[in-house]
A = this chain, B = another copy of it.
Amino acid sequence: MTLPLAASSDTAGILTDLFLVLLAAKLGDEVFKRIGQPAIIGEILGGVLIGPSVLSWVEVSEVLRVFSELGVVFLLFWVGLETRLSEMRAVGRSAVSVGVAGAVVPFLAGLGAGLALGESTETAVFLGAALAATSAGITAATFIQLGIGRSRPARTVLGAAVVDDILALILLSVAVGMAAEGGVDAAKIGLALAVAVAFVSFVALGGTQLLQRRPRLLHAPRFSESPLLPAVILCLGLAAFAAGIGLAALIGAFLAGMVVAETKDQSSIEEEVRPLYAFFPPFFFAFIGIELDLGALLDAGALALLAGITVLAVAAKLVPAYLSARRLGRREAAIVGVGMTPRGEVGIVVASIGAAAGVVDEELFAVVVGMSILTTLIAPFVLRRLIRQPAGPAG
């Protein structure tokens, strides 16, 4: 028989890590709230502080990664709970064009930049895929904190992020295929695309219809008086399934939230999910900071490359997204454009897959992580300014 893993001694270490990460995130939040700046930046910087860049009190570990993943899962589950399918349909056209333009243009820009820098095609494809990523979590959290979580630009960004993630799945499959076998299996990628589109449509349409027809379905089990656990089980199941077919887990969580929102007493579910939404997401934000290793960026060449790639990453996402959302008016289009720029954890994941495949070297990895974090740090500040403009809140 297998013995359980070493028991009580590392319990203390893991509980200490969780304690430190939550404490650092909330202290960062506290400081940033007091100086009137975006709270999630405070949480990320709390992670930078205790991570390898400064104090080295905690380092990247599997458990912290899982908590970070659950953080973005519960964040998007919460966003889904506040979203109706009909509202998503209302922004469908803009969302699709923003998502497509916001994935294709940065991919081509990254690919071109990689080739221009003299990298191999395989490496350049990874750089393109990293630039194509969008971190729906960062923008959604910023929108919620600014009180416009349900506004038209917020829903457009969210819908675009779903489209974008499906395209990113394809780009990443292409990148991995090229790195691994030196070729691309079109049939396999077509199948992945079909499965992803089928999953999203089936859950979004079938799931919401089912709950509309049987709004007390989540109340049926006797194991709890409230529908919280059935809803959470659905969320974890769809998140796991989404991750299993190559999408981001947060897409499944978002869809689960949207389905559950159709249940009988949605407001009581929101009340009950709120503590999970308070507990997990700080791990997600702080973990982004913990993944940063400033030491690896401390030379002139890397810094120059970081600056160039970051400017390219912002421009290649902002401009096409802005133009595609132009029909919403200049101000909302600008909010959408900026809202699409954070790469967050998705850019980091793409880079680490490339590193594992041996086509992204240490310097480029550090640069992509730095770019992901910089775009993530910039967006909330700009969004605050755009949204608090004299014109009044958008949406």
**Chain A interfacial positions (CB closer than 8 Å to B):** 1-8, 11-12, 14-16, 18-19, 22-23, 26-27, 29-30, 33-34, 39, 52, 59-63, 65-66, 69-70, 73, 221-224, 226, 228-229, 232-233, 236-237, 239-240, 243-244, 246, 248-249, 272-276, 278-279, 291, 293, 295-296, 348-349, 352-353, 355-356, 362, 365-366
- Complex Cα distance, B14 from A62, in Å, reads 10
Given A29-B223, A223-B30, A15 contacting B278 (CB threshold 8 A): no
Cβ A8 vs Cβ B353 within 8 A: yes
Q: Which residues of B contact A348 (CB under 8 A)?
A: 4, 7
Q: Which residues of B contact A34 (CB under 8 A)?
A: 222
Given A229-B278, A272-B275, A352 contacting B3 (CB threshold 8 A): yes
Q: Which residues of B contact A248 (CB under 8 A)?
A: 8
Cβ A60 vs Cβ B275 within 8 A: no
Q: Which residues of B contact A273 (CB under 8 A)?
A: 275
CB distance from A354 to the nearest CB of B (A): 10
- Complex Cα distance, B12 from A243, in Å, reads 5
**Considering residues A274, A279, A365, which has the most beta carbons from chain B within 10 angstroms of its beta carbon?**
A279
- Complex Cα distance, B232 from A22, in Å, reads 9
- Complex Cα distance, B20 from A386, in Å, reads 44
